[in-house]
Structure 1
């Protein structure tokens, strides 16, 4: 009987499999943050606790996991947190949102844009213009009104009152009492639905749909908007745009590290 010799190929395969299992344990620790007992971690992974424990020891040795000395629970270590922060630091809402908005523009054939909060208010930083016969181009760098645009109202709904106070003070005196009530109604609806449809608010004959984009900690990162002619972006077409925009906004938020309720 000859001795069985492990080939280099088999050795590489085993190392790859071990790395995959280790990454799975690391991912499970992230999903069960801030810490978890070994039994719950093993159940979550569907692996024997003894096997999970071996991988945990390797992760602890490399700084990617740690064990609480009092509870004996396991959690992410300093090295894992550093990697996570470095990754999040590279996530820019414009870079993340751009391909989603391009695909949405192609799907709806309506102008789609991203706005962020600038020192003068809601500021357009990225535009995917419609390719149809009727094209509405929102200029890069345009500053939109806080209370007089769908985009602005979404910012007003999710930013801290202190951040929007100055613009509110500037714009509110120009509104009628009925318009002021409408603003508060719009804000309540936006917070409830996560998406906002409006007709001819910023410009006559122009309809829009807006939705918030969040980053890690569910902090508002920007607002995505679909805008088009009221003759085309209306009724069921506007409802469809609202549904798709909400899906896109949630997808971007997920890529940005937000943890939104289902």
Structure 2
């Protein structure tokens, strides 16, 4: 049976995702992973090699840095990336911790940029990493600026899965938190995505009152007591404000 173009594209990206997850695989292993005939997977892999997005080393197929090139080109075209670049470095230096810039994309929180302060612990955080909006401080900072209808639609599509034992999975409780976040101008995630870590984020708005992203600081709970949390909250709110000005007027 001849595949429709949409089905072919979907299968190609499923294979790419599996190659990314596995770090590389042979044809037979990949066929087992995606539950397709070996001959079909072989044809897909050969086509992907011809595009330059996949390479073959001995009998193993792996993705190439071509994806990195595409992602970086897109990132550097985004206004918020350019507007927040200097501020993110300042936040990392002044907080001493891990500072990140997030955007919301396809109902997920996506890291756009990362800066590490002098005391930052080694987190596995990198541009392009995706995570649930409801389980992260930057995600909730952005959700709080959306309408109730928008948030409900995201919940319907994505659900409220538990990432850790502290993740908020009840819609009513999430909406209560979002109301608080909107009032105070920042959000806090205490171990909701990474156990033992505290993350504090502020939304970046534009002159049309549209949320464009969020600036976040994360650090170990042992270093971020209540007083320190308020200091970080003030820092990310200031950075978000400066980024807004850069977006709107620079």
Shorter-normalised TM range: 0.5 to 0.7
Aligned-CA RMSD value: 2.6
- Give the Cα–Cα distance (whole angstroms) in 2 for the partners of residues 183 and 163 of structure 1: 14
What is the count of residue pairs matched by the alignment? Answer: 169
Instruction: Give the aligned partner of residue 128 of structure 2.
Output: 141
- Give the Cα–Cα distance (whole angstroms) in 1 for the partners of residues 120 and 200 of structure 2: 20
- Give the Cα–Cα distance (whole angstroms) in 2 for the partners of residues 196 and 146 of structure 1: 12
- Say which SS state the counterpart of residue 122 (structure 2) adopts: coil
Which of 208, 211, 224 pairs up with 1:220?
211
Structure 1 residues 91-126: Cα deviation after superposition (integer angstroms, max 9, x where no partner): 811111010010111111011111112125211110
**TM-score w.r.t. length of structure 1:** 0.58
1:203 aligns with 2:194: yes
Greater Rg, structure 1 or structure 2?
1
**1:133 Cα deviation after fit:** 6.2
1:189 aligns with 2:180: yes
- Say which SS state the counterpart of residue 248 (structure 2) adopts: coil
- Give the Cα–Cα distance (whole angstroms) in 1 for the partners of residues 209 and 82 of structure 2: 18
Instruction: Give the aligned partner of residue 160 of structure 2.
Output: 172
Q: Which has the higher contact order (CA 8 A, sep 6+)?
A: 2
Instruction: Give the aligned partner of residue 122 of structure 1.
Output: 109
- Pick closer, same or farther for the CA change 1:118–1:231 going to 2, 3 Å: same
- Give the Cα–Cα distance (whole angstroms) in 2 for the partners of residues 159 and 104 of structure 1: 25
**8 Å contact kept, 1:135–1:228:** no
**1:135 Cα deviation after fit:** 3.0
Instruction: Give the aligned partner of residue 105 of structure 1.
Output: 92
**1:136 Cα deviation after fit:** 2.6
1:230 aligns with 2:218: no
Instruction: Give the aligned partner of residue 57 of structure 1.
Output: none
- Say which SS state the counterpart of residue 119 (structure 2) adopts: coil
Structure 1 residues 49-106: Cα deviation after superposition (integer angstroms, max 9, x where no partner): xxxxxxxxxxxxxxxxxxxxxxxxxxxxxxxxxxxxxxxxx98111110100101111
Which of 139, 149, 159 pairs up with 1:152?
139
Q: Which runs of 5+ in 2 are unaligned?
A: 1-76
- Give the Cα–Cα distance (whole angstroms) in 1 for the partners of residues 167 and 101 of structure 2: 29
- Say which SS state the counterpart of residue 256 (structure 1) adopts: helix
**TM-score w.r.t. length of structure 2:** 0.60
